[in-house]
Structure 1
């Protein structure tokens, strides 16, 4: 009887399966697999074979399911599904699911030949049915869990993208609102400096919306337009646009002196957004009545743009987490926790890097490092 053979040689069969598993690249038998994988299937196979020798052979279907591959709840289907889920959690591929059950089949066949164990045809049919159901249920669950993980990742990316878009919209709208309020309260002419800020903010909104529509049409494959431009003019534009926000947060912003010969290359709008987000972060966390310092200078073959605040310094562990999406470490939770993430990604797209340096008990300095270029002719 096959069930007697399997019971008497169980330890040897499990040993052979572990050897086969260990021989495959990137695969080893874990404690989970030693409990819930092939050994559990072997127990269910033995019980199925035993029941089929009774006067109620169809009761075995409750353990191992029916023939023909139709979906059915059984002990074997539940454990096989868990087996497939476990293998996915281990980072393995779907072929490993098939191999695990194939190893047992091969081990049974080899040992039966070595020991000249005779099996009935119906017993082989039962073995094949159990293997077929186990592989089918394990592969089905493996594929479902893998698709679910992919769907979760896609949904998470979509949420982040929507968050970035909303964050940038709010920044531009906030600057435009401040400029409009200043014009209205002071009866300022729209042709002046404040009116220019309002105009640039509205233009920025238009560009952001247009770029978003382009992303939808091109499924995210928009071309990034790169070109070199004056660093001094770039910084001056940022300074004038940020002045109103500095006043609103009761802090000051110093106009930096930038070498007129310096130039950077990249997507100007993305870099503007990056520096603007760093300034907004500085205004938010610097202590009232203090100064935020914006500087831009050459450092060998790089251009550095620094934003220094006086927040009092960073707590331990904050630096590693502050660039993660939706991370918020301060008391002020009015934002979405995306500004620094957007800034770092915008800089990276332009071949640069964004880092932060802590000044204990004083503040911190965010530095954008970009490749240095000559001024365009």
Structure 2
């Protein structure tokens, strides 16, 4: 089995990856990366393969994420995102991010050929899934961090332009003021030389303002600041409130820890109401003695809040209509069918999206996607 092969040859594979990194031009690695980057991913891959040999193979998704590239919180997604961020801090390019995981894949393939190790097709599929998810999350975080740096640089450049504008504005205004004072003190005609100076200064002021008005308007639009608040505190508050009022069907409620450095902008009360409505819906329809999950995490320039239940799946055509007002598709018809409609409107009002993903025979995941912001200082 592949997991036995990887476990038995773990050190050899890590050494081969280190060698490939050392041979790649322009690539260096810190001690932390050598300890926590590819070695950590290799351990996650081994655990994924081990779980998929048990009676509950789908539990491996909590470690390595689902197939198909959908956004989901997993151990691989968290560590891969950190790996992408580390590589950016080293000044590397996005292709180096891809190469790091490609090194491991190549090392596994080479060693398997050398040792004549037979693997099953499903094991290769799992390997590809883990690599795809790791590369996707690493590249996404790399891109987000790079864009954030560019945005900061643009802000500095914008401040410089505004400084130049103010400087030129002051020069023109100063000359115009002196010309006006001279005209007034000497009782001079505005048709003379001093009057011409005043006229040219006024024309210069007009040109400065005309050339900068669009930048000023854009800056004003981009500087509209909504409430910015901690995502972890937001989820903790929801968890505390929901734990007191969850359903009475014996189901449990789980909300994993959220990265304390993440923040969102928006109307807190509206977003709180949206998540509360999704949780109320989850507790209403989840099957007895199952579990409801509330997770929140970063995916590139987005913040994702997932509410996952075990309702047994949505069925054909249900997902398309469930956000419509007064829509009720389950056997439980308590309420008036507006909770999901209100949730979607609240999320949309904050510049986000609300979608639902069907997990046939298992349940569904309601997914809120909001713009990602830095933690307020």
TM value normalised by structure 2 = 0.51
What is the CA distance between 1:147 and its match in structure 2? 3.1
1:100 deviation in Å?
Answer: 0.7
Question: Structure 2 matches for 1:95-134, cutoff 5 A?
Answer: 95-134=95-134
The reply on whether 1:28 has 2:28 as its aligned counterpart is: yes
CA distance in 2 between counterparts of 1:47 and 1:85 reads: 24
Q: Which residue of 2 aligns with 1:169?
A: 169
> Which residue is equivalent to 1:65?
65
Give 1:94 deviation, angstroms.
1.6
**Residue deviations 1:147-183 (CA, integer Å, cap 9, x gap):** 3333443343333223322321122112212332343
Q: Distance in 1 between matches of 2:83 and 2:55?
A: 32
Aligned-pair CA distance for 1:186: 5.0
The number of residues matched between the two structures is: 216
1:210 shift after superposition: 6.5
Q: Is 55-64 or 115-124 further displaced after alignment? A: 115-124
Hey, what does 2:74 align to over in structure 1? 74
Q: Deviations over 1:196-235 (max 9, x none)?
A: 543442343355457669999xxxxxxxxxxxxxxxxxxx
Cα distance, 1:113 vs. partner?
2.0
Q: CA deviation at 1:118?
A: 3.0
Q: How does 1:233-252 map to 2 (within 5 A)?
A: none
Residue equivalent to 1:90: 90
Verify: 1:45 aligned to 2:45, yes or no: yes
Cross-structure match for 1:55: 55
Aligned residue in 2 for 1:3: 3
Counterpart for residue 355 of structure 2: none
Instruction: Specify the alignment match of 2:157 in structure 1.
Output: 157
- Distance (whole Å) between structure 1 residues aligned to residue 149 and residue 59 of structure 2: 36
Q: 1:98 to 1:195 in 2, by over 3 A?
A: same
Question: 2:322 corresponds to which residue?
Answer: none
The CA distance in 2 between the partners of 1:8 and 1:214, in whole Å, is: 64
Displacement of 1:21 after TM fit? 1.1
Runs of 5+ unmatched residues, structure 2: 217-377
Identify the range of structure 1 (155-164 vs 70-79) with the bigger mean alpha-carbon deviation: 155-164
Structure 2 residue 147 is the aligned partner of structure 1 residue 147: yes
Q: CA RMSD in A?
A: 2.8
Distance 2:215 2:59 in 1: 58
1: CA distance, partners of 2:72 / 2:194: 71
- In 2: Cα distance, 1:196 partner to 1:213 partner: 26
**Structure 2 counterpart of 1:303:** none
Assess, with a 3 A threshold, how the Cα gap between structure 1 residues 109 and 212 changes in structure 2: closer, same or farther.
same
Task: Please give the alpha-carbon distance, in whole angstroms, between the structure 1 residues aligned to 2:69 and 2:204.
Answer: 59
Distance 2:66 2:104 in 1: 20
* Alignment partners' CA distance in 2, 1:129 and 1:86: 23
Please state whether the residue corresponding to 1:71 is helix, strand or coil: coil
Equivalent position SS for 1:105: helix
Structure 1: unaligned runs, 5 residues or longer? 217-377
The residue number in structure 2 matching 1:137 is 137
Which whole-Å deviations, capped at 9, do the CAs of 1:302-347 have from their partners, x for residues lacking one? xxxxxxxxxxxxxxxxxxxxxxxxxxxxxxxxxxxxxxxxxxxxxx
Pair member with larger Rg: 1
